[in-house]
Every structure is written in C-alpha cells, then in structure tokens.
Structure 1
C-alpha cells in the first residue's frame, strides 16, 4: 500500500518539481538530458517514452501515438513547446526522432502482426495454398507430397491430414513464421525438424512452431519485446524483424528442449513455461538482443 501511495505522490507532485529544479540547474529539460546522456537503444528510448507519456503537455503525450510517417513536424512542435534551440542542442532533434520512430514503430508493427493473426488460412486462397506447399518443399525436399490432404503432414508436425485446422489460433501469422524460418534458415530448420522427429525426445515441429508464434505475439502485445526491438532496430521495426525474432525462438527452444531431455511430450507445457520465463528474463537485460546468430540465406 505504501508503495502505491509513494508512486502516486511522486508522479502527481514530486516528479514535476524535481524536473523543474534540475532544469533550472542544468539548463536542459528532461527530454534533452535523456537524449544527450543516455545510451542509444532501450535505455534512451524507454526513458524518452516514459517522459513523453508522463508529461502534462498534450503535445508531448500525443507524440507517442503520432503517425510514424509524420514525426518530423511532431519533433518540431516538441522543441517549440520546450523552447529547445537547435543551435544550442544540435543532436536533440535527430535523437528524439529516432526514439519516436522506435516507439511509434512498435505500435504500428503490432497492428500488422495482429492483422496477420486474424487472417484465417483459406484453402481456397491460392497464395495461402502455395505458401503451405512451400513449407513442405523446404522441409522435405526429397519427399513428394502424395496429395493436399494426407497423413504425410504429420511428418513435419501437423496434427491432422489437413494443416489448415492447426492455424486457427494464430491464423496466417503462424504459417508465415514457419515458412520464414524454413526459407531463410533452411539448414537450421531441417536440423530442428530432425530433432523434433527423434524417437524419444521428439515433438510436433509445426504445432510447437505455431505455439512459439503465440509466445512471440503475447510478448509483443504486453510490450515485453520493446527492449529487444529498441536495441536491435535503429528506427521503426517491420514485419521481417518480428519474423526474425520468431526464428530466434524456434531455434533456441529446440536447443533448450534437447538439453532438458524431457521424459515425454506430455510435459510440453511445463517446459514451454520454463523457456518462456528464460526469454522474459533475457528481455529485462539492458543490452538484450534476441537475435539468431547463425547466418541466414539473405
């Protein structure tokens, strides 16, 4: 209870006066001090985001929801609002613009991710079908698919004779992630598939892959992936950056699963939660970068 009271008092009263006092001493507003004194990446951008969201100024609060393509005039309005002269702080505009690109870009990326998640796999859609068949060809280049609906799909970890039923939770996002990993890290994807087909330590490759898509989606929705994207993308993150994050999860989960040597796939949820906690712990590190270190084809 005392913690909540202190937080309320600090955010409502003390923070404003402390900011005012420090500005009188340094001659710089809080945003200037952040943009000049903090390391680029999550340290700078997270502090800038908090400062903007906590501001009493509508101009500053509105900046975090601005159109990522209209940020330059937004930065100009902030500089005017805070009486910041370009000649006295020449790097401020560029540094704040980068922070806003990352902040608004994260929100924009989530919208794109959500749209793909909501897009239902449609067997009548030629592009959807082509993508599904591409997944098979990438993972099983020497095995011909006998028909569109076949038990062979179980060889790459789908549950039934028709994979479309397995995409219900994550929609096209799940399939796109599977194909992206298999297309850009083909050797690694086939290696993971071979582990998934192990007689003792095996798991359902495609189903687990879709489950990891859900993990990535949930982490992004909660904002937990901000440190990763703020550290690894010097601007607005795009869909390919989300897919790259998925590749990291798919590859690292396989390494984790093999190292743990579970007794049975029946314990999957237990190990999935343990891996999830490991990822969340990494995301709290200031220099976090959940990047797959092997080389991609592109």
Structure 2
C-alpha cells in the first residue's frame, strides 16, 4: 500500500512537471501568467496564485506568500526576473500579480491585527475599555440606566455575571469591539437581534453568543478558511474593520438560523452552533463566496 502511494505520488508529480513544461512551450507563458490571464480578480485568481507560489520549488516564489506589504513591489520584480517575464511583453501580468500579492500579504497582516486585539485583556482600570463597555449598554439599552457598574442588569444583554469583564477572557478586547461595532454600525438591527435573544422560549445569551461567534470568526481567519471571502470582497489590503464587518454578518445570520431552527432550549446551543459553523464553512467553499451583511446601517430588517 505504501509503495503504491509512493508510486502514485511520483507518477503524478512527474506528469505535472511535464504538463507545466508542455503548456509553457505551447502558450509561451508560465503557470503564474496563465493564472493571471485566465481567471477573474478575486479568490478565483488570488487563491490559485497563492497555491502556485506555495508549491513552487523556487525559493523566491515560495517566499512570496509571506511577503510584507512594503516589499510587494520588489517581490513582483524578483518573480518576473526568476520567470524571465518581460514587462513590455506582458504589462498586465505585473499589475495582476501585484494585486494578488497585496491581498495575500494583507490577509497575513489582518490576522496579526486581529490577534493583537484578541490578546489585549479587558482592564477595568483602563478608561477606554470601560467607556467601550458602557457604550455597548447605551447602544443596546438606551432607555434603561445602569444602576451601577457591577450589577445583575448586565444579564439583560446576555452577560453571565454581574461584571462582564470575566466574559472577555477568551477573546479579550476583540469580543467587546465586535459587539460594539455591530451595535454602533447596525444599531436597530442589533436591538432587533437582542429582542430575539430575550425571547421567553427561544432566547439565548446575546453577549456570550456574540463572543462565541467572535471565536468562530477568529478560528476561520486563523485557519485560512476566510481567504476566499476576503479575496472576493476586498480588492486591496483588508483592514480590521473588514473583520468586524464579517462578525456582523455572523451575528445577524446566526440569529436568523437560531430562530428558524427553533432549538428546544439553550442547552442545545453547542449542537446548533456547530451546525451553523458547518453551514458557514460550506459557504466558504463556494468560488464566489461573499459573507457580507446586506442591511443598510442603522436600519432594522423586517421580521
């Protein structure tokens, strides 16, 4: 069995090498050129460029998948030199490859930004952190005044205890920033979702579920599963607000999913969380995937 596997690997590698050589002779273009000219901008092109670079035996091409944003231009030049591509003969290649590398390097940089925010611990002595937490309350409960900073009232927006800071341990400030971003960008929609979360029979812990969805978004980003989404929706370098926007999509879509599924109780949360997670991962396998919340800011969706 092992010998069969080795034979199949060597056979397929050998055939692929000669197939690429044959295509280069026939078309006069290397694999990178064929991808840049044969596919539309977005995941269709950038993912293939990334895979081609990763599988290359040329170190210049291999290193390109980890290029820093400020080194993209020189990286493109080095690749063209290695592959003996003349800009005068193929000017579009340089433009297309640069865009792909900007997206690839941008995704790597986005993860570092998200990771930095995740590692930032909520600090009650940090005035900015406290203001953000109180802002979340004001956005979601504008007509109700907090009795005190530590109070059971936090349960009304889905925190577990009297002091929400304990719920941010897993996702750090990233969890809070996502909750505030959704509530500020789509205020009426967030309140609408909160009303579902407070339903007497179908309710769930709004803030805790929100932090859980932040963990979902983070794990998808870390694994690289979100690359097709960002490659399709952001033509250049994605910024952290693009990640927060993805969270808004997850928060809204999970609420719809939960209400439609009608779980027997909150005790089944993990089951439906995984079902929703699988649904999202399925979307991310689609070539044209774009997980964008299609609701105008400040407007509430119809029931």
**TM-score w.r.t. length of structure 1:** 0.97
Residues 10/152 of structure 1: CA separation in 2 closer, same or farther (3 Å cut): farther
Aligned equivalent of 1:88? 89
Alpha-carbon distance, 1:65 to partner: 0.7
Give the distance between the partners of 2:30 and 2:157, measured in 1 at CA. Answer: 56
Residues 168/72 of structure 1: CA separation in 2 closer, same or farther (3 Å cut): same
1:154 aligns with 2:124: no
Aligned equivalent of 2:134? 133
Aligned equivalent of 2:166? 165
Residues 140/6 of structure 1: CA separation in 2 closer, same or farther (3 Å cut): farther
Aligned equivalent of 1:228? 229
Aligned equivalent of 2:275? 274
Give the distance between the partners of 1:48 and 1:5, measured in 2 at CA. Answer: 27
1:208 aligns with 2:220: no
Aligned equivalent of 2:199? 198
Residues 6/44 of structure 1: CA separation in 2 closer, same or farther (3 Å cut): farther
Contact 2:196–2:203 under 8 Å retained in 1: yes
Aligned equivalent of 1:26? 27
Give the distance between the partners of 2:252 and 2:7, measured in 1 at CA. Answer: 43
Say which is worse superposed, 162-171 or 101-110, in terms of deviation. 101-110
For 2:170, what is the secondary structure of its paired residue? coil
Residues 238/39 of structure 1: CA separation in 2 closer, same or farther (3 Å cut): same
Aligned equivalent of 1:249? 250
Aligned equivalent of 2:181? 180
Alpha-carbon distance, 1:196 to partner: 0.3
Residues 116/146 of structure 1: CA separation in 2 closer, same or farther (3 Å cut): same
Structure 2, unpaired ranges of 5+? none
Alpha-carbon distance, 1:8 to partner: 3.2
Alpha-carbon distance, 1:12 to partner: 4.3
Give the distance between the partners of 1:49 and 1:231, measured in 2 at CA. Answer: 14
Give the distance between the partners of 2:11 and 2:50, measured in 1 at CA. Answer: 18
1:42 aligns with 2:4: no
Pairs aligned (count)? 298
Alpha-carbon distance, 1:15 to partner: 2.4
Structure 1, unpaired ranges of 5+? none
For 2:91, what is the secondary structure of its paired residue? coil
Aligned equivalent of 1:116? 117
Question: Any residues of structure 2 matched to 1:280-291 within 5 Å, and which?
Answer: 280-291=281-292
Aligned equivalent of 1:264? 265
Alpha-carbon distance, 1:6 to partner: 6.7
RMSD value, Cα: 1.6
**TM-score w.r.t. length of structure 2:** 0.95
Aligned equivalent of 1:70? 71
Residue deviations 1:80-114, cap 9 Å, x none?
A: 11111112111111100111111111111111111
Aligned equivalent of 1:294? 295
Residues 129/267 of structure 1: CA separation in 2 closer, same or farther (3 Å cut): same
1:101 aligns with 2:102: yes
